[in-house]
Chain A
Amino acid sequence: MSRVDPTFLHEIKEYGAVGIEQCFNCGNCTAICPLASDDYPFPRNVIRRIQIGQRDVLRTQLDPWLCYYCGECSATCPKGAEPGETMMAARRWMTARYDWTGLSHKLYTSTTWAIGALIVGALIVLGLAWLLHGPLVTDQVQLNTFAPVEMIHLGDLILAGILSFFLLSGLFRMFVFHFREGGKWKLPPLSVFVTEAWQLVYHTLTQQRFSKCEGRRRWISHLILVFGYGSMFVLIVLFLTWFQTDNIYPIYHPQRWVGYLAALAIIYGASDALLSRIQKKHEMHHYSQLSDWLFPILLILLAVSGLLISAFRYMGLPLATYYIYVAHLVVMMMLYICIGPMGKWAHLLYRPFAVYFQVVKEKAREQSNVTAGALSSAD
């Protein structure tokens, strides 16, 4: 028994949903969806929960995360209710629910807040750079003198720590919402979590479910982007001392081509997404929120500024290198803000976990069916 709440629909609309009202629940969208199943009959069930105002039900669901927005549903919907866009909005709303600070809600629903946060981030970086930078050596490029790598690394680690804290606490809340019902835990056996853990890694790395959607090209482009971004992240957070050095390595050295490759991957993936958004080529790109635009743009800026640092250094332009380095840091900070509370890419984390939870539950059910079957055949 749940009580209807007509306000929920309006709340989700603040997160960018359009046309939910028009849906007359025919179910065509769910029928056409390559990823929906009997247990996860999205997008219609998500739309229905919203129409009828079942916040608490939607909050517990994995469904929004299981959608990769191929847009088949929106193309099929006879009412123009844009189910795919509702799924997108539902993901934003879920992210905001997982975020206990309430910041994410503000950043999603208010442009002022979103831009304000980016400006604040940029100012912090600029301020820190102004306060903490080392001497500007101008006769040759000495980046590590201007920005001592240990200091930057420390900053990276602190930022990564903060970010991880937010994301992990979000993940914890996701876990609780999903596995606690009416104040009671409904947990599958721990053993299944362990045995199925490889699925988590597998899905994070391959995004394999995405390929089930039509459009392999999009999956590949998406995958390239994820890889470029992932490897850059790892390089910066874990191996910065190795990566940021005033030593000039030969071009075949991995220190150089790994960086270039990652940058190119990001530029390719992000421009692809950006172009599609501009041309509204794909269903999922018909409606764009501020964060949807910022994201690819920041990524491209990040990669380009990264490449420029390297270029200016090899060209022996000290000041240009230092300035572009600071700009690079500013962009990075803005991206962190996006990844963190603003959460567009929080899905990087939530989605594989949703798939993981789904698999774990299925496995657990299979096992209990087997047990039940064994019991009944023993009768």
Chain B
Amino acid sequence: MPDNDKLKIAVYTCYCGGNISDVVDCEKVAKAMGSQPDVVVSRTDMSLCSDAGQSQIEQDIRELGVNRVVIGSCAPTLHEVTFRNALIRAGLNPYLYQHVGLREQDSWVHSNDHAGATRKAMHLMKAGIAKARLLHPLEPIRLQAEKQALVIGGGVAGLRAALDIAQQGLRVVLVEKSPFVGGRMAQLEAVFPTHENARDLLRGLIKKVVNHPGIKIYTQAEVMGVAGYVGNYCAQVIQHSRGVTEENAEALLSACQQEVPDEFNYGLTRRKTIYRPYPGCYPPLPAVDWDNYQGEPISLNGGEPIVLEDVPTSVDVNVGAIVVATGFDPYEPRQGEYGYGELKEVVTLPQLIRHLALSKANHALEWNGHPVRDVAFIHCVGSREIEGVDEPHEDGRINNYCSRVCCTATLHTTEELRQHFPGLNIYDLYQDIRTYGRGHEDYYRDALLGGVRFVRYHGEEHPQVTAASAGDTHPVLIRVKDSLTYNEELEIPVDLVVLAVGMQPRQIDKLVNMLKVSRGTDRFLLEVHPKLRPVETAVNGVVLAGTAQGPMNIQESLSAASAAAAKVVALLGRGRVELQPFVAAVDAEKCNGTGACVEICEYEGAIAVQTFTENGKEVKRAVVTPANCSGCGACVAVCPNHAINVQGWTLSQYEAMVDAIASDIPNMAEVA
């Protein structure tokens, strides 16, 4: 649309089915806007987003030669795209459209001041019209997209996402930090709500992933750097050596003498520094634990001692999108928290699960060689902490969130215990029972029926776990104020205390900085919008899968993983990506390359000063790489020459809006 064409603006004030019109006098607004300069038509509608409403817009464009459209309606997140599409259908550039939020910004917040709301609507609409006059046609940024995705983290969520993406014909690079895939799920036994064995379930999934020709797995690998933008990321992946080969693996494994605590069993057992975490793991080849192997020579069959060496290799992978599936760590209680680390009878739930797996054959539950007659579970350890009550963690934060999985996991474990050890007395110290999933409440019901004694404490007053005095019947004594027993203090003598620890995100600071994704106050990775865009991050092309985003059970982790995969496939499936054109644009005539914009810019590769030769002279000028620019406008604010603007939101457009809002409206008197 050439600029010198005569402006013909169409203005619509939507009733939003009463949401707006119950408060704002839409007819008066429409009438007042009708007399604004350049406005050729001003209408109201019951709901413009309806088919009829949209056809009206298209008809006006075609029949009246309208070349700018201003609509006052709901929030732009809801229907801006809807109305832009109406413009496209009528043959108009979609960026000649201006959206005005009359609902969220006006009628909903001023519901008890009808006249005031109507005046405000007029000002807002007038500002919209003022901006519309200065709109220019824009084109979306179209980029070639790499039809390959990077999945970071080979837990159940990462595996599922990788498989879903690959099954849609895209290639996947899966990067797993540890030597084996499967993540935390491999450390579980029978899992709720189906009682299937976790590793059996995983094995099926891993088999499909491994056999898929489109998936390349890197274990003992980490992403060291990411450059580029949606559709065209380049990730540097560093992979450590396995340290063993098919040929020497078994011999090295048996010859290796050095032992360290086995993290697979949460330190309950020890393993060698060349190891397989469990039989049937993938990859089946043992690996060297380079963090702990300090170059000790190993003699094979009495031969020359050999020293294993880690020779990391680096690969660059080009991917269009990135799935972050780095998972969780169980909360590690502080020294002395509920006696943890001080009393040997205090363990965490993940530890107990491993302990049970290791001692399945036994007929009686034993701990430290002593029979366990009474056991107590304490819920919410490291979760639902209260500001001012609970001591902050090292980084000053408190875990005030609910870890969601631990209630059902705890009750599920009590069921396992009851089945294997019928004589056991089980106490359950909880704050609330949050067995929210389908079938999960059954665990609570069955625990009650099975004689588990529930004791309810308040988060403000934690149970006290202490060593019992000598000669007592049990080694440990719990004192707890039980709100079910009228806040009386109870004494529970037990042989074992199990802490139902919550979930925390893994240590992934480097990755977070690299990807510039945001984290919530709980430090889990944050989605753009919890309801409307639950697996996407604010960074285009970076999506989240599984417990990296927050506490989830396996089912939820997989739902999230499949959703993330769907997003990736939708983004990259066509081989190109389209981005909004609201990015910085440099006015070549005004720019003299001071570089203030480059300094302020937070987005890597978004802007740079380049040197050009023009008419034999060297000139410096800022150049924007649109795909990397977020359109935040920081550069606009610092440019001394006003040489840079965000397209679609230029300074002059803002000025026009401010002027319009501040000025009077001719027919205003009629309203007040």
Binding site for B on A (CB under 8 A): 1-4, 6, 9, 21-25, 45, 48-49, 51-52, 54, 79
Task: Tell me, in angstroms, the Cα distance from A2 to B491 when the chains sit together.
Answer: 6
Contact indicator A21/B449 (Cβ below 8 Å): yes
Contact indicator A52/B489 (Cβ below 8 Å): no
Task: Tell me, in angstroms, the Cα distance from A4 to B484 when the chains sit together.
Answer: 13
Task: Tell me, in angstroms, the Cα distance from A17 to B335 when the chains sit together.
Answer: 44
Contact indicator A2/B486 (Cβ below 8 Å): no
Cβ–Cβ < 8 Å partners of B445 in chain A: 22
Contact indicator A52/B453 (Cβ below 8 Å): yes
Given contacts A48-B484, A51-B453, A52-B482, contact A4 B448 (CB under 8 A): no
Task: Tell me, in angstroms, the Cα distance from A177 to B167 when the chains sit together.
Answer: 75
Contact indicator B486/A4 (Cβ below 8 Å): no
Query: What are the 9 tightest A-B residue pairs by CB atom distance, in nearest-first order?
Result: A3-B491, A25-B484, A6-B425, A1-B489, A4-B492, A21-B451, A22-B448, A48-B485, A4-B490
B401 at interface, CB cutoff 8 A: no
Task: Tell me, in angstroms, the Cα distance from A24 to B489 when the chains sit together.
Answer: 19
Interface of chain A: mostly helix, strand, loop or mixed: mixed
Partner of A52, one of B448, B449, B451, B455: B455
Task: Tell me, in angstroms, the Cα distance from A1 to B492 when the chains sit together.
Answer: 10
Task: Tell me, in angstroms, the Cα distance from A45 to B597 when the chains sit together.
Answer: 71
Q: Which of B427, B450, B490, B492 has the most CB of A within 10 A?
A: B490
Partner of A6, one of B449, B453, B485, B491: B453
B282 at interface, CB cutoff 8 A: no
Near A by CB (< 8 A), chain B positions 486-513 give: 486, 488-493
Contact indicator A3/B448 (Cβ below 8 Å): no
Name B373's closest neighbour in chain A (CB-CB). Answer: A6
Name A49's closest neighbour in chain B (CB-CB). Answer: B485
Q: How far is the CB of B408 from chain A (nearest CB, A)?
A: 16
Contact indicator A4/B489 (Cβ below 8 Å): no
Contact indicator B486/A52 (Cβ below 8 Å): no
Contact indicator A22/B489 (Cβ below 8 Å): no
Cβ–Cβ < 8 Å partners of B490 in chain A: 1-4, 52
B479 at interface, CB cutoff 8 A: yes
Task: Tell me, in angstroms, the Cα distance from A49 to B482 when the chains sit together.
Answer: 12
Q: How far is the CB of B414 from chain A (nearest CB, A)?
A: 13
Contact indicator A4/B453 (Cβ below 8 Å): yes
Given contacts A2-B490, A4-B491, A52-B482, contact A22 B453 (CB under 8 A): no
Cβ–Cβ < 8 Å partners of A4 in chain B: 427, 453, 455, 490-493
Binding site for A on B (CB under 8 A): 374, 425, 427, 444-445, 448-451, 453-456, 479, 482, 484-486, 488-493
Task: Tell me, in angstroms, the Cα distance from A1 to B488 when the chains sit together.
Answer: 7
Contact indicator A24/B448 (Cβ below 8 Å): yes
Task: Tell me, in angstroms, the Cα distance from A48 to B456 when the chains sit together.
Answer: 12
Cβ–Cβ < 8 Å partners of A21 in chain B: 448-451
Task: Tell me, in angstroms, the Cα distance from A75 to B444 when the chains sit together.
Answer: 22
Task: Tell me, in angstroms, the Cα distance from A25 to B456 when the chains sit together.
Answer: 10
Contact indicator A52/B485 (Cβ below 8 Å): yes
Contact indicator A1/B485 (Cβ below 8 Å): no
Cβ–Cβ < 8 Å partners of A79 in chain B: 448
**Would you mind naming 8 contact pairs between A and B with Cβ atoms under 8 Å apart?**
A3-B493, A4-B491, A6-B374, A21-B451, A24-B444, A24-B454, A52-B455, A79-B448
Q: How far is the CB of A90 from chain B (nearest CB, A)?
A: 16
Contact indicator B479/A1 (Cβ below 8 Å): yes
Cβ–Cβ < 8 Å partners of A22 in chain B: 445, 448-449
Partner of A45, one of B482, B486, B493: B486
Task: Tell me, in angstroms, the Cα distance from A340 to B485 when the chains sit together.
Answer: 34
Task: Tell me, in angstroms, the Cα distance from A156 to B479 when the chains sit together.
Answer: 55
Name B482's closest neighbour in chain A (CB-CB). Answer: A52
Q: How far is the CB of B495 from chain A (nearest CB, A)?
A: 13
Q: How far is the CB of A48 from chain B (nearest CB, A)?
A: 5
Name B376's closest neighbour in chain A (CB-CB). Answer: A4
Cβ–Cβ < 8 Å partners of A24 in chain B: 444, 448, 454
Q: How far is the CB of B482 from chain A (nearest CB, A)?
A: 7
Cβ–Cβ < 8 Å partners of A1 in chain B: 479, 488-491
Name B456's closest neighbour in chain A (CB-CB). Answer: A25
Task: Tell me, in angstroms, the Cα distance from A51 to B484 when the chains sit together.
Answer: 10
Task: Tell me, in angstroms, the Cα distance from A23 to B447 when the chains sit together.
Answer: 11
Cβ–Cβ < 8 Å partners of B444 in chain A: 24
Q: How far is the CB of B563 from chain A (nearest CB, A)?
A: 35
Task: Tell me, in angstroms, the Cα distance from A3 to B455 when the chains sit together.
Answer: 13
Contact indicator B493/A2 (Cβ below 8 Å): no
Q: Which of A45, A48, A52 has the most CB of B within 10 A?
A: A52
Given contacts A2-B488, A45-B486, contact A9 B493 (CB under 8 A): no
Cβ–Cβ < 8 Å partners of B484 in chain A: 25, 48
Cβ–Cβ < 8 Å partners of A9 in chain B: 451
Q: How far is the CB of B56 from chain A (nearest CB, A)?
A: 55
Q: Which of A23, A24, A45, A49 has the most CB of B within 10 A?
A: A24
Q: How far is the CB of B401 from chain A (nearest CB, A)?
A: 25
Cβ–Cβ < 8 Å partners of A6 in chain B: 374, 425, 451, 453
Q: How far is the CB of A272 from chain B (nearest CB, A)?
A: 35
Cβ–Cβ < 8 Å partners of B489 in chain A: 1
Task: Tell me, in angstroms, the Cα distance from A1 to B464 when the chains sit together.
Answer: 13
Known: A2-B488, A22-B448. 17 other contacts (CB 8 A): A1-B491, A2-B490, A2-B491, A3-B490, A3-B493, A4-B427, A6-B374, A6-B451, A6-B453, A9-B451, A22-B449, A23-B448, A24-B444, A48-B485, A52-B455, A52-B490, A79-B448
Q: How far is the CB of A332 from chain B (nearest CB, A)?
A: 43
Cβ–Cβ < 8 Å partners of B492 in chain A: 3-4
Task: Tell me, in angstroms, the Cα distance from A23 to B425 when the chains sit together.
Answer: 17
Task: Tell me, in angstroms, the Cα distance from A120 to B614 when the chains sit together.
Answer: 125
Task: Tell me, in angstroms, the Cα distance from A25 to B479 when the chains sit together.
Answer: 20
Q: How far is the CB of B385 from chain A (nearest CB, A)?
A: 25
Task: Tell me, in angstroms, the Cα distance from A45 to B486 when the chains sit together.
Answer: 9
Q: How far is the CB of A331 from chain B (nearest CB, A)?
A: 42
Name B488's closest neighbour in chain A (CB-CB). Answer: A2
Q: How far is the CB of B451 from chain A (nearest CB, A)?
A: 5
Cβ–Cβ < 8 Å partners of B491 in chain A: 1-4
Cβ–Cβ < 8 Å partners of B448 in chain A: 21-24, 79
Task: Tell me, in angstroms, the Cα distance from A24 to B492 when the chains sit together.
Answer: 19
Q: How far is the CB of B603 from chain A (nearest CB, A)?
A: 54
Cβ–Cβ < 8 Å partners of B455 in chain A: 4, 52
Cβ–Cβ < 8 Å partners of A54 in chain B: 485
Q: How far is the CB of A81 from chain B (nearest CB, A)?
A: 9
Task: Tell me, in angstroms, the Cα distance from A54 to B253 when the chains sit together.
Answer: 56
Cβ–Cβ < 8 Å partners of B454 in chain A: 24-25
Cβ–Cβ < 8 Å partners of A48 in chain B: 484-485
Cβ–Cβ < 8 Å partners of B427 in chain A: 4
Q: How far is the CB of A42 from chain B (nearest CB, A)?
A: 12
Cβ–Cβ < 8 Å partners of B479 in chain A: 1
Task: Tell me, in angstroms, the Cα distance from A21 to B448 when the chains sit together.
Answer: 6
Task: Tell me, in angstroms, the Cα distance from A191 to B488 when the chains sit together.
Answer: 33
Task: Tell me, in angstroms, the Cα distance from A3 to B490 when the chains sit together.
Answer: 6
Q: How far is the CB of A303 from chain B (nearest CB, A)?
A: 43
Q: How far is the CB of B417 from chain A (nearest CB, A)?
A: 14
Cβ–Cβ < 8 Å partners of B374 in chain A: 6
Q: How far is the CB of B471 from chain A (nearest CB, A)?
A: 15
Q: Which of B484, B488, B491, B493 has the most CB of A within 10 A?
A: B484
Name B479's closest neighbour in chain A (CB-CB). Answer: A1
Cβ–Cβ < 8 Å partners of B450 in chain A: 21
Name A53's closest neighbour in chain B (CB-CB). Answer: B453
Cβ–Cβ < 8 Å partners of B453 in chain A: 4, 6, 51-52
Task: Tell me, in angstroms, the Cα distance from A79 to B454 when the chains sit together.
Answer: 15
Name B447's closest neighbour in chain A (CB-CB). Answer: A21
Cβ–Cβ < 8 Å partners of A3 in chain B: 490-493
Task: Tell me, in angstroms, the Cα distance from A79 to B486 when the chains sit together.
Answer: 21
Task: Tell me, in angstroms, the Cα distance from A92 to B643 when the chains sit together.
Answer: 93
Q: How far is the CB of A24 from chain B (nearest CB, A)?
A: 6
